[in-house]
Amino acid sequence: MSDLFALENVIAGYGRAAPVLRGFSVGVPKGSIVCLVGPNGAGKSTVLKVASGLLAPREGRILVNGRDVTGLGPQKMLAAGVSLVLQGHSVFREMTVEENVRLGAYTITDKAKIAERVEFVKEIFPVVADRWGAPAGLLSGGQQKQVEFARSLMVEPSVVLLDEPSMGLDPKATSTVFEQVVRMRDAGTAVLLVEQNARRALETADLGCVLDLGRVHISGPAAELLADPQLGELYLGGRPASGRKVTP
């Protein structure tokens, strides 16, 4: 399966400090969820900054559908098909759900296309359709996150970058949010997911990568990583009863 989106041998950091990413590579195949997990300071958030154009890499390449988009800023990355959902909550609380979602289409001038995308996101996220006219600030944290997901899909991206989507949510809301991530994937949008809740992320993803010191330490099918006893002991807060070892 060819990669829809890829970072290749990326070296990146901030100012004159030592690089945070040190030869980092990841590929996101079409129709897949790829999750990045690892300890604090491993470089997960930096990956998304580079992937979205917020931080230019010192070396390496970023590819979207085989096209080299290295060095493009956030707006041009969005136009190239890369949409970012930030961690925390980024809805405009005083605006309605509709107004928040339609902000995602600010680069689209075709009204028919906007109407088509509105119907698309309403179908994927029922809560968005149900609360369409309500102020976004009245929604729960998990519901607000779904509004952010819907907004990110308005430009029909090739890949959506999700930064810690479960942050600040209770277990029930977290389960709902990850269910919606799967719905995005099933509706045709690839997902690159950074998540501190490593076990839940791997349960959701198709492929997983464990970052450590700015490089991929272990990668493979998410189910295999979840079952790996070494990985469970080092990164997932416990050793599974059984599993298959994945060689770094």
Closest Cα to residue 193, out of 150, 149, 163?
163
Residues 71, 77, 80, 82, Cα dihedral to 10°: 130
Q: Is 47 exposed, middle or buried (0-12, 13-18, 19+ CB in 10 A)?
A: buried
Q: Which residues contact 163 (CB under 8 A, 6 or more apart)?
A: 45, 48, 84, 85, 86, 87, 194
| Residue-by-residue pLDDT tens, the chain, 248 positions | 578 999 999 999 999 899 999 999 999 999 999 999 988 888 999 999 999 999 999 999 999 999 999 999 999 999 999 999 988 888 999 999 999 999 999 889 999 999 999 999 999 999 999 999 999 999 999 999 999 999 999 999 999 999 999 998 999 999 999 999 999 999 999 999 999 888 899 999 999 999 988 999 889 999 999 888 777 666 666 544 343 434 33
pLDDT at residue 87, as a whole number: 86
The encoded tokens of residue 139 equal 């929604």
Closest Cα to residue 168, out of 191, 145, 150, 188?
145
Structural contact between residues 153 and 189, judged by C-beta atoms closer than 8 angstroms? yes
Q: How far is 238 from 222, CA to CA, in rounded Å?
A: 17
Closest Cα to residue 47, out of 67, 21, 68?
21
Q: Please count the other Cβ atoms lying within 10 Å of the Cβ belonging to residue 144.
A: 23
Q: Which residues contact 152 (CB under 8 A, 6 or more apart)?
A: 83, 84, 85, 104, 160
pLDDT at residue 245, as a whole number: 39
Structural contact between residues 54 and 12, judged by C-beta atoms closer than 8 angstroms? no
Kindly list the domain boundaries of the chain, sorted by start residue. Answer: 87-156
Q: Which residues contact 241 (CB under 8 A, 6 or more apart)?
A: none
pLDDT at residue 233, as a whole number: 65
pTM of the model: 0.90
pLDDT at residue 193, as a whole number: 96
pLDDT at residue 232, as a whole number: 64
Q: How far is 24 from 86, CA to CA, in rounded Å?
A: 21
Structural contact between residues 140 and 172, judged by C-beta atoms closer than 8 angstroms? no
pLDDT at residue 246, as a whole number: 40
